Amino acid sequence: MNSGRFVLSQILDLVHRQTLDRLVTRYNAESKVRHFGCRQQFICMAFAQLTWREGLRDIVTCLNAKPSALHHLGFRQPVAKSALADANERRDWRVWEDLAKGLIRKARVLYAGEDLGVELENTIYALDSSTIDLSLTLFPWASFRKTKSGIKLHTQIDLRGPIPTCIHITGARQHDVSWLDALSFEPGSFYVMDRGYMDFKRLNTIARSGAFFLTRAKRNLRFSRQRSLPVDRLSGLRSDHVGKPTARKAREAFPALLRKIRYYDAETQRELVFLTNNLETPALSVAMIYRLRWRIELFFRWIKGHLRIKHYYGTSPNAVKIQIWIAVTVYLMVAILHKQLRLPGALNRTLQILSVHPSEKVTLNQLLTEDASRTFDNHDPNQLKLWDL
């Protein structure tokens, strides 16, 4: 990275050309393409995410406004709106999914040492989904209700980060719990879910894989206690029971022992009931692990608030998936830069600075690192003093 290169070029260096070329070949994504390849498509869409462009015309107008920067980024000619639209409609969205997965592996290594505030060495994943409302007229393939369409982002994040490790895009009609059928579970890891995922047959699949689940119990759960474990009521714990579901079908679906923990959260003044197949971890640690699940809600709020995934540049399923996966890729690149450069503040600060300087010729380290002398020393030696003190 040197001061002669644009900020956007330095960000895109996180995606190696050979990696993208390999993915393009795998999915034959540049068949009969002459000028506007996948690299150019990625630059346009990443630029749109970083700078919050409103539509295709807005993207190409801003990029073409500075021909020297466009040439520096690798474009041989001005960007055409039709070329970008066709690329989003026709090229295989799996190119960008696989590209994001490569960055996920890199980001998880960087954030592996993050402190969760819980004395637990296990990897902890949170699972949840978020619905994005769409226009029924423009997106009839994603019909959700009588008056609108919608898509659902089923997401699994590693709570050390948080870094998304798996994202599945479906219509908004699909129930959250059915997504568990498509997941692979890591032995020894914790999977934290809300009670919408409470299905004993699927929870048994997690347990049989050697992993642990942690979910909130439904209000109508019938539970047969076999033994009770001691609790410290001053910590908020109310009970810690080991047993099995009472209902015959539930017991057949999950024949192993379960643990039911009742905890009073003083902050929200609510009593919560947890279910887990982990019989060894202290009950208070289990309650603290569940509180970490809130980080996936923060992740959804962050990407919806800072990236372009609520309004789309194309209306086909392919175009929507491309935009979402490139948005995730931009999130990962910002997260990687934030950790590699050991930047102060939150990811939001890093993204905001990058968003207003994409065509500046300054090193990322110079741009993003706070320098008190550079920030606050605005003294001009040629400026006369108003008063002599």
The alpha helices in the chain, defined as continuous H runs, are: 7-12, 17-26, 38-51, 56-64, 67-72, 81-90, 94-110, 200-208, 248-253, 283-291, 294-306, 317-340, 347-356, 364-368, 372-376
Token reading at 84? 């970008």
* pLDDT tier at 10, thresholds 50, 70, 90: very high
The pTM of the full predicted model, rounded to 2 decimals, is 0.89
* Look-up of token digits 């423009």: 138
Q: What is the pLDDT of residue 372?
A: 37
pLDDT per residue over 212-242, tens digit each?
999 999 988 999 999 999 999 999 999 999 9
Q: In this prediction, what percent of the chain has a pLDDT beyond 70?
A: 94
pLDDT per residue over 66-116, tens digit each?
888 888 888 889 999 999 999 999 999 999 999 999 999 999 999 988 888
For the chain, what's the residue count?
389
Helix axes 38-51, 81-90, angle to 10 degrees: 100
Q: Tell me phi and psi for residue 274, to 5 degrees.
A: -110, 150
Euclidean distance between CA atoms 63 and 70, whole angstroms = 6
In the chain the domains, ranked by start, together with CATH numbers, are: 7-95+317-370 (no CATH), 116-300 (3.90.350.10)
